[in-house]
C-alpha cells in the first residue's frame, strides 16, 4: 500500500486534497468541487460532423420526416436511443426506434435492417452506440437512398464508413478539443448532439412560437448510461453524472422511477446504484430477454406500463444471474491451463452470449489480467466473444488490429471493453496473437499496480461524518477513483464467509473502537484465505472504501475491503 497525494497542508481540507490527488490543478479547484455543464460542456461544433448532423436532424424536424433511432441492446445504447426519442418529442415530433436482437442479429447495424427501415418510410436513421465500423451496412443504406447519422464512441479506423455524418470523439481525424472527450459514453455524445440540434433550430427561428426544450431533464439518462458503460468519470462525464443524479432523484422519468422502485431503492440513487442495481436490469433485456425493453421503459410516460416492464426486467435479471453463474464456473475451470498467459482467452460451447461480457469482467477482476470470454456456436463454427481490460492496456485497439490481420470475422470496442466474432479454428491463434501484442503492456500495468491511499486513520476515525465528507468529492468511478482509506493497526475479532464468497470481518483497534468490514468475492482469494486463517494474534492494516451502512435506520461506517498489510 502506498499513500497517494502526500500529507495535507494545514490550509487544505480533505476534499481539496482528494481533488489535488486526482490531478486537478490548484487554480482549477473551484470548477471541480461542484462540476457543472456550464463549466465543462464544449462547443458542439468542435466535433467533426456535429454541425452537419444537427442541420440534418433539424431539417427532419421541420419537414416532419420519418426518423428511426437505431440503438444497441446495452444500457448505453438504450439510454442513447431514449434520449434522442425524448428530444424529438420535446420538439413536437416522433421518432421510431429499432434495437437489434443480440442473438439473431449480433452487434451493430446490419444493411438488411437499415434498408428495411427505409422501405418502411424512414428517410433518416440515427445509429447510437454503434456504426463506427459498419462499412458494409452503411454502404447498403447509402445505395438505398437512406441518410444515416452515426453517433458513437467506439474506436474508429482511419477509413470511415459511408455515413451522412459520423459524430464520434474517437475519430482519428478529430482536433485536440474533441479528442479530449473520447471518454464519453455514446449517451454523452448524444446529449452534445441534442445541444447542437436545439442551437440549430434556434438559429432557424423554430422557438419563436414555442418553448425551448429543457435538455437538463435528460441528464438522468446520461448519468445512467455513462456509469453503466463504465466510462471514465472525469471532466464532462463527472459533470454529467453529478447533475444527472440530481435529476434522477426527482423521479420525473416514469420508467426510471419504476426501475428504482423495482430495485428496492428507498433513497435517491447513487453512482454505484446505476452500475449495480439499475444498469444490470436494463442490460438483462438485451442479454437474455427482449432487446427493446430498455428503450420502452425509458421512453414510456404510462406508470402502469413502466411498472410492468420494470418487473419483467427484474425477473430477467434474476435469470441472467443464474446463467452467468454457470458460464463463470465453466470459464474459471479453464483458467489453470492459461496461468502463463498475459491475456486470458476462454472459450466454451453452449455458453450464453448474453453474459460473456459480465463473466469476462468477473475474471478480469479476479485475476488482474485482461480477459476474453467466447461463446462457441458449434453449428456455425463461430464464436462470439466479449473482453474486458485493465488500466493501461488498450484492448479495443488490439481487437481492431486482430480483425485487420485476418484473425477475426468482426471486432471492435474501446480501451476497456471489446467485442468480436471469430472462427473456432482461429481461437488459439488469436490467443497467442493477443499474448504477443499485449504481453508487455500487461506486464507494465501489473508491475505498476499498487493500492494507493488517500487517508490513514485509527478505527475511531472511521465515522459516517468522514464518509459524507469523502463522498462530497464525488461522483466517483473509473478515472476518478473513490477515496481509499487504511484503518489500523487493528486485530481481527471475527472473520467468516457469508453469501457467495464474501468475507465478513469485525476489527478492533488500540483506541478501543471496532468496525465492520466486508470483502466482496474475496473469501477464496489469497487475501481472503490469509485473513481467515493467518491473522490470529497479528496486527494489521485494512484498506478499502469507507461506506455508510444504514441498516435499521442506524448510520454506521464500515469498510469495503480491498487490501491488507501486516502491521508487525
**Domain containing 303 — which CATH number?**
3.90.1640.30
- Residue with C-alpha cell 467485442? 419
- Residue with C-alpha cell 435492417? 113
**pLDDT class of 10 with cuts at 50, 70, 90:** very low
pLDDT of residue 104: 75
- Name the pairing type of β-strands 344-349 and 371-377: parallel
| pLDDT tens digits, 166-210 | 999 999 999 999 999 999 999 999 999 999 999 999 999 999 999
* 3 state DSSP class of 484: coil
pLDDT of residue 217: 98
> Is residue 213 a contact partner of residue 196, using CB atoms and an 8 Å limit?
no
**pLDDT class of 564 with cuts at 50, 70, 90:** very high
Give domain status of residue 282, yes or no.
yes
pLDDT of residue 544: 96
Tell me how far apart the alpha carbons of residues 344 and 342 are, in angstroms, rounded to a whole number: 6
3-state secondary structure 119-187: HCCCCEEEEECCCCCCHHHHHHHHHCCCEEEEECCCCCCCCCCCCCEEECCCCCCCCHHHHCCCCCCHH
Q: What is the mean pLDDT of residues 120-129?
A: 97
**pLDDT class of 354 with cuts at 50, 70, 90:** confident
- If asked whether residues 174 and 293 sit together in one domain, one would say yes
Using the predicted structure, report yes or no on whether residue 11 has a pLDDT greater than 70.
Answer: no
Measure Cα distances from 325 to 316, 369, 377 in Å: 14, 20, 19
Using the predicted structure, report yes or no on whether residue 1 has a pLDDT greater than 60.
Answer: no
Q: Which of 399, 414, 447 is the last residue of a domain?
A: 447
Using the predicted structure, report yes or no on whether residue 123 has a pLDDT greater than 60.
Answer: yes
Share of the chain above pLDDT 70, in %: 98
* 3 state DSSP class of 93: coil
HSE of 435 in the Cβ direction (CA atoms, 13 Å)? 13
Measure Cα distances from 474 to 4, 28, 249, 337 in Å: 17, 16, 16, 41
Measure Cα distances from 568 to 331, 339, 533, 562 in Å: 39, 32, 17, 20
Number of other residues whose CB lies within 10 A of the CB of residue 5: 15
Q: Which of 447, 462, 496 is the last residue of a domain?
A: 447
Q: What is the mean pLDDT of residues 103-124?
A: 90
pLDDT of residue 450: 76
- If asked whether residues 250 and 144 sit together in one domain, one would say yes
- If asked whether residues 557 and 469 sit together in one domain, one would say yes
- If asked whether residues 243 and 258 sit together in one domain, one would say yes
> Is residue 263 a contact partner of residue 317, using CB atoms and an 8 Å limit?
no
- If asked whether residues 562 and 461 sit together in one domain, one would say yes
User: Is the bond preceding residue 177 a cis peptide, omega within 30 degrees?
Assistant: no
Give domain status of residue 132, yes or no.
yes
pLDDT of residue 460: 95
Q: What is the mean pLDDT of residues 353-366?
A: 91
Q: What is the mean pLDDT of residues 458-472?
A: 95
pLDDT of residue 12: 61
Tell me how far apart the alpha carbons of residues 165 and 196 are, in angstroms, rounded to a whole number: 14
The CATH number of the domain holding residue 379 is 3.10.310.30
pLDDT of residue 5: 41
Measure Cα distances from 62 to 167, 202, 204, 555 in Å: 22, 12, 10, 54
Give the chain's domain count: 3
Measure Cα distances from 247 to 241, 310, 334 in Å: 10, 19, 45
Q: What is the mean pLDDT of residues 98-124?
A: 90
Domain residue limits at 486: 2-25+452-566
Measure Cα distances from 443 to 83, 153, 413, 439, 535 in Å: 41, 28, 22, 6, 30
Give domain status of residue 41, yes or no.
no
Give domain status of residue 325, yes or no.
no
Using the predicted structure, report yes or no on whether residue 534 has a pLDDT greater than 70.
Answer: yes
**Range from 36-50, 98-112, 214-228, 464-478 carrying the lowest mean pLDDT:** 98-112
Give domain status of residue 40, yes or no.
no
The CATH number of the domain holding residue 547 is 2.40.50.460
- If asked whether residues 552 and 465 sit together in one domain, one would say yes
- If asked whether residues 281 and 382 sit together in one domain, one would say no
Q: What is the mean pLDDT of residues 132-143?
A: 96
Q: What is the mean pLDDT of residues 80-105?
A: 93
Tell me how far apart the alpha carbons of residues 257 and 254 are, in angstroms, rounded to a whole number: 5
Q: State the cell numbers at 277.
A: 442495481
Q: Which of 280, 315, 350 is the last residue of a domain?
A: 315
Q: State the cell numbers at 106.
A: 449480433
- If asked whether residues 294 and 209 sit together in one domain, one would say yes
Give domain status of residue 556, yes or no.
yes
| pLDDT tens digits, 318-332 | 999 999 999 999 999
| pLDDT tens digits, 51-83 | 999 999 999 999 999 999 999 989 999 999 999
Q: For the chain, give the mean pLDDT.
A: 93
Measure Cα distances from 241 to 17, 45, 261 in Å: 21, 23, 20
- If asked whether residues 226 and 90 sit together in one domain, one would say yes
Give domain status of residue 36, yes or no.
no
pLDDT of residue 452: 84
What dihedral do alpha carbons 52, 55, 60, 62 form, nearest 10°?
A: -170
- If asked whether residues 292 and 347 sit together in one domain, one would say no
* Sequence-separated (6 or more) residues with CB below 8 Å from residue 138: 109, 111, 114, 131, 148, 150, 161, 162, 163
pLDDT of residue 197: 98
Q: What is the mean pLDDT of residues 247-272?
A: 96
Using the predicted structure, report yes or no on whether residue 541 has a pLDDT greater than 90.
Answer: yes
Tell me how far apart the alpha carbons of residues 180 and 234 are, in angstroms, rounded to a whole number: 11
Using the predicted structure, report yes or no on whether residue 8 has a pLDDT greater than 50.
Answer: no
Using the predicted structure, report yes or no on whether residue 405 has a pLDDT greater than 90.
Answer: yes
- If asked whether residues 293 and 367 sit together in one domain, one would say no
Give domain status of residue 323, yes or no.
no
pLDDT of residue 7: 39
> Is residue 124 a contact partner of residue 67, using CB atoms and an 8 Å limit?
yes
**pLDDT class of 107 with cuts at 50, 70, 90:** confident
- Name the pairing type of β-strands 514-519 and 540-549: unpaired
**pLDDT class of 415 with cuts at 50, 70, 90:** confident
- If asked whether residues 127 and 273 sit together in one domain, one would say yes
pLDDT of residue 550: 82
pLDDT of residue 61: 98
pTM of the model: 0.86
Amino acid at each position: 500500500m502506498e499513500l497517494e497525494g502526500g500529507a495535507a497542508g494545514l490550509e487544505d481540507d480533505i476534499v481539496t486534497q482528494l481533488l489535488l490527488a486526482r490531478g486537478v490543478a490548484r487554480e482549477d479547484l473551484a470548477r471541480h468541487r461542484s462540476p457543472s455543464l456550464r463549466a465543462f460542456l464544449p462547443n458542439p461544433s468542435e466535433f467533426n460532423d456535429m454541425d452537419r448532423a444537427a442541420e440534418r436532424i433539424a431539417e427532419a424536424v421541420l419537414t416532419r420526416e420519418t426518423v428511426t433511432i437505431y440503438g444497441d441492446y446495452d444500457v448505453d445504447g438504450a439510454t442513447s436511443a431514449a434520449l434522442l426519442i425524448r428530444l424529438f418529442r420535446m420538439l413536437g415530433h416522433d421518432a421510431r426506434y429499432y434495437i437489434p436482437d443480440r442473438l439473431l442479429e449480433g452487434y451493430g447495424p446490419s444493411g438488411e435492417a437499415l434498408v428495411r427501415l427505409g422501405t418502411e418510410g424512414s428517410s433518416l436513421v440515427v445509429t447510437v452506440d454503434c456504426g463506427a465500423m459498419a462499412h458494409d451496412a452503411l454502404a447498403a443504406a447509402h445505395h438505398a437512398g437512406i441518410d444515416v447519422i452515426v453517433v458513437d464512441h467506439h474506436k474508429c479506423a482511419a477509413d470511415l464508413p459511408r455515413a451522412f455524418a459520423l459524430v464520434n470523439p474517437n475519430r482519428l481525424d478529430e482536433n485536440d478539443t474533441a479528442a479530449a472527450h473520447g471518454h464519453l459514453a455514446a449517451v454523452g455524445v448524444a446529449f452534445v448532439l441534442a445541444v447542437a440540434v436545439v442551437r440549430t433550430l434556434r438559429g432557424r427561428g423554430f422557438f419563436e412560437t414555442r418553448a425551448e426544450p429543457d435538455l437538463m431533464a435528460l441528464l438522468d439518462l446520461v448519468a445512467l448510461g455513462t456509469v453503466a458503460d463504465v466510462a471514465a468519470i472525469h471532466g464532462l462525464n463527472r459533470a454529467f453524472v453529478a447533475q444527472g443524479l440530481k435529476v434522477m432523484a426527482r423521479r420525473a422519468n416514469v420508467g426510471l422511477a419504476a426501475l428504482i422502485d423495482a430495485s428496492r431503492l428507498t433513497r435517491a440513487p447513487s453512482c454505484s446504484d446505476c452500475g449495480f442495481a439499475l444498469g444490470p436490469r436494463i442490460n438483462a433485456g438485451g442479454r437474455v430477454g427482449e432487446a427493446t425493453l430498455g428503450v420502452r421503459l425509458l421512453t414510456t410516460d404510462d406508470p402502469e406500463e413502466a411498472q410492468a416492464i420494470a418487473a419483467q426486467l427484474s425477473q430477467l435479471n434474476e435469470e441472467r444471474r443464474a446463467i452467468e453463474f454457470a458460464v463463470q464456473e465453466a470459464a474459471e475451470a479453464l483458467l489453470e491451463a492459461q496461468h502463463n498467459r498475459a491475456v486470458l482467452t476462454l472459450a466454451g460451447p453452449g455458453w450464453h452470449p448474453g453474459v460473456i461480457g459480465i463473466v469476462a469482467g468477473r475474471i478480469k477482476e479476479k485475476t488482474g489480467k485482461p480477459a476474453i470470454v467466447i461463446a462457441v456456436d458449434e453449428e456455425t463454427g463461430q464464436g462470439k466473444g466479449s473482453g474486458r481490460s485493465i488500466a493501461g492496456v488498450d484492448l479495443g485497439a488490439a481487437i481492431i488490429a486482430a480483425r485487420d490481420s485476418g484473425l477475426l470475422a468482426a471486432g471492435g470496442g474501446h480501451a476497456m471493453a471489446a467485442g468480436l466474432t471469430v472462427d473456432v479454428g482461429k481461437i488459439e491463434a488469436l490467443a497467442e496473437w493477443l499474448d504477443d501484442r499485449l504481453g508487455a503492456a500487461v506486464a507494465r500495468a501489473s508491475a505498476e499496480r499498487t493500492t494507493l491511499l488517500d487517508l490513514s486513520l485509527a478505527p475511531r476515525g472511521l465515522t459516517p461524518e468522514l464518509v459524507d465528507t469523502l463522498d462530497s468529492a464525488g461522483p466517483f468511478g473509473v478515472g476518478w477513483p473513490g477515496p481509499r482509506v487504511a484503518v489500523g493497526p487493528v486485530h481481527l475479532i471475527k472473520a467468516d464467509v457469508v453469501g457467495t464468497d464474501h468475507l465478513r470481518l469485525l476489527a478492533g483497534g488500540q483506541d478501543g473502537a471496532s468496525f465492520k468490514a466486508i470483502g466482496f468475492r474475496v473469501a477464496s482469494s489469497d487475501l481472503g484465505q490469509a485473513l481467515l486463517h493467518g491473522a490470529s494474534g497479528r496486527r494489521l492494516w485494512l484498506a478499502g472504501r469507507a461506506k455508510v451502512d444504514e441498516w435499521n435506520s442506524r448510520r454506521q461506517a464500515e469498510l469495503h475491503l480491498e487490501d491488507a498489510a501486516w502491521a508487525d
